[in-house]
Amino acid sequence: MSSVHAHEFMALLAESAEPKTLVQLAALSEQHFGEAARFHTCKLQDLAIEDLLAFLNKAGKIVPEGEGYVLNRARVCNH
């Protein structure tokens, strides 16, 4: 099974104009990357979508807006 870089998920999230709940974000991930998708970042490996969302939230890369979360474009690295 291959691993999806968090940047790919954030790029997908960047396409969405509406805030999404964590459940909706997990469903979006499943729709695009498959139910069994695992993720990695520059420092972390083998993350489930729930772990990735927790990491992105803690790192300020996704932020609460209204009833959901949006991508914080100012915190997305470009490497």
Average pLDDT over residues 6-33: 95
Residue range of the domain that includes 50: 3-75
Structure tokens at 22: 């964590």
Strands 62-65 and 68-71: antiparallel
CATH number for position 44: 1.10.10
pTM of the model: 0.90
Q: Residue 9's pLDDT is what?
A: 96
pLDDT tens digits, residue range 3-12? 999 999 999 9
What number of other Cβ atoms are within 10 A of residue 20's Cβ?
19
- Work out how many domains the chain is built from and give that number: 1
Mean pLDDT of 47-69: 96
